[in-house]
Structure 1
Amino acid sequence: MEIVELAIEFEFNGQKNCIYPSLIVLNNELTLVDTGYVQFLPLIEEAIVEHGYDLASLKNIIITHYDDDHIGSLYDFKEKYPSIHLIASKKESSSISGAKKSERLTQAEAMLENMVGEEREFGEWFIGQLKSVKHVAIDETVQDGDVILNGGCRVIATPGHTAGHISLYFPSLQSVITGDAAVNEEHKLVIANPQFCLDIDAAKQSLQKVIDLQANTYYCYHGGKFVNSD
């Protein structure tokens, strides 16, 4: 088993940005963790091929949580690769499928009521982004402690950023894929966008939970790979 960091570079408001989806390689099968924004499918496909892997080997996609930068291209992947197996937490799956309104959209609409000027313009744009995400049914739901990928990966419930957020722990690799439970900021693991966490106390506990795993490597969606030097 191997984890490959995919660096997906893009521009936003004239500034260069980068997100880091993870690719899990196991027995010649590929599992992608999170799918970037809407229309990021070609960027992610290109990154996978650049690392020397065949897209025909892409078997699974795991979603850590419902945010537009994590599930934006999920529908496109399922459309292009219909046999792909989609995995998400039980709590998030109903939002991803469209059966339930997402927590993030509910939060954004509530915050908009108190916004004015440019801040309001951004809030309206963000709501539009969330509404542009197409819904897709999840094939397999997971929860805390579940073991997947032939026993090589343990699901860790890391709520706070969203209620159903999950991270992935790989004991044999001493590695964690954190989603937004932790980000690499100035070579430290910190909470992602604390101002947007749906439960900041839970987010703090989840950050400590992944740190307490004492992994050698943390694959952070924002900020990139963090190597533990302790």
Structure 2
Amino acid sequence: MDLIAVRPHLYMFRFPIGQAYLWHDEDGLTLVDAGDVNAAAPIEEAVRGLGFDPAALRRIVITHGHRDHYGAAGELADRHGAEVIAHRLDAPVVRGETPTPEPVLLDWELPLYEHALTVPEAPPTRVDREVADGEVLDFGGGAVVVHSPGHTDGSIAVHLPRHGVLFTGDSVAGVGQVMLGVFNTDRERARASMRRLAALGADTVCFGHGDPLTEDAAAVLKASADRDSGLQIEHG
């Protein structure tokens, strides 16, 4: 696992597939996503390496119910007393009550999807708080939940308006270029979600896959959303 400092208060943990983010407030730590089932120990080691105590972990926000995003959440929450948070529509998937919806794959996504399936299955994981669009979480000066369906029904982004930070989950990707995330269950809803996230004008954009966007982030994300919409108009 790689540890990357993104900006003050914000760090990224990069795993072989996917990544998670650590936000540091004076009164505690927040994880946005938690990696796969094997990620708990590396995350704890990295947190200690930053000079923090993993016992200060207050909450784990799960952006959506895919195995590479919540696999270690239950172990970390049980060990450190953190609250697990997810959107109400993906919470049953995280708990293991309903199966993970299958994406509608484009041809070029098929080999990528086969690779993604090498991530170990995530265990059923408790969700302590189910959230909906517009709810505010107690970190980062007020973190706003932004429902961003399309990748999954219950995908969320998290916006920190006071800091200009946006966590997109897999609604947007930054692999090679900023683009619509892959493996969507509803591509049209995913496009609409990307446009909504771009309109937030964040200064720092953190993706579920790919390098965070820290320069001209608002303009780049908007241009990417506009380009994707233009391609849809041309080929739709």
TM-score range with shorter-chain normalisation? 0.7 to 0.9
Q: How does 1:143-154 map to 2 (within 5 A)?
A: 143-149=132-138, 152-154=142-144
* 1:111-156 Cα deviation digits (max 9, x unpaired): 8xxxxxxx7xx58x93x856x3211221111111111116611000
From 181, 187, 202, give the equivalent of 1:192. 181
Q: What is the CA distance between 1:218 and its match in structure 2?
A: 0.3
Report the residue type matching 2:134 in the other structure. Answer: G
Aligned to 1:136: 125
Letter in 2 for 1:143: A
Question: In 1, distance between residues paired with 2:83 and 2:147?
Answer: 20
Partner of 2:199: 212
Aligned residue pair count: 203
Offset of 1:9 from its aligned partner? 4.2
Q: Which amino acid in the other structure matches residue 55 of structure 1?
A: P
The structure in which a higher percent of residues are strand is 1
The higher relative CO (CA closer than 8 Å, separation ≥ 6) is in 1
Residue aligning to 1:66 = 65
Aligned equivalents of 1:169, 1:9: Cα separation in 2:
23
Segments of 5+ residues of structure 2 without an aligned counterpart are 1-7, 106-110, 220-236
Q: 1:6 to 1:46 in 2, by over 3 A?
A: farther
Query: What is the SS of the residue equivalent to 2:212?
Result: strand
- 2:85 is aligned with what amino acid? I
1:55-134 equivalent positions in 2, closer than 5 A:
55-81=54-80, 83-103=81-101, 107=102, 122=114, 126=117, 132-134=121-123
Structure 2 CA distance for partners of 1:9 and 1:93, relative to 1, 3 Å: closer
Counterparts of 1:26-41 in structure 2 under 5 Å?
26-41=25-40
CA shift for structure 1 position 79:
3.3
Q: Matches of 1:189 and 1:221 in 2, distance apart?
A: 12
Contact 2:60–2:77 (Cα < 8 Å) also in 1:
no
| Cα distance per residue 1:178-223 (max 9 Å; x no partner) | 111111133x421122xx2100011111111111111111011211
Percent of paired sites with the same residue: 26
8 Å Cα contact 1:8/1:44 also seen in 2: no
SS at match of 2:152: coil
Structure 1 letter corresponding to 2:189 = A
Distance, in Å, in 2 between the alignment partners of 1:48 and 1:221 is 19
Query: Is the 2:60–2:83 contact (alpha carbons within 8 Å) kept by the matching residues of 1?
Result: yes
Instruction: Please state how far the C-alpha of 1:47 moved relative to its aligned partner.
Output: 2.0
Change (3 A) 1:49 1:224: farther
Q: Distance in 2 between matches of 1:171 and 1:47?
A: 27
Is the 2:64–2:155 contact (alpha carbons within 8 Å) kept by the matching residues of 1?
yes
CA distance in 2, matches of 1:168, 1:97: 21
| CA deviation vs aligned residue, 1:70-99 (integer Å, no higher than 9, x gap) | 011122213323x21111101111111122
d(CA) in 1 for partners of 2:56, 2:190? 34
Q: Secondary structure at the match of 2:178?
A: strand
Deviation at 1:56, TM superposition (A): 1.4
- Provide the C-alpha distance between the structure 1 equivalents of 2:212 and 2:50, rounded to a whole number of angstroms: 16
- Which position in structure 2 is the counterpart of 1:14? none
Q: The residue matched to 2:55 in structure 1 has which SS?
A: helix
Contact preservation (8 Å) 2:86, 2:127: yes
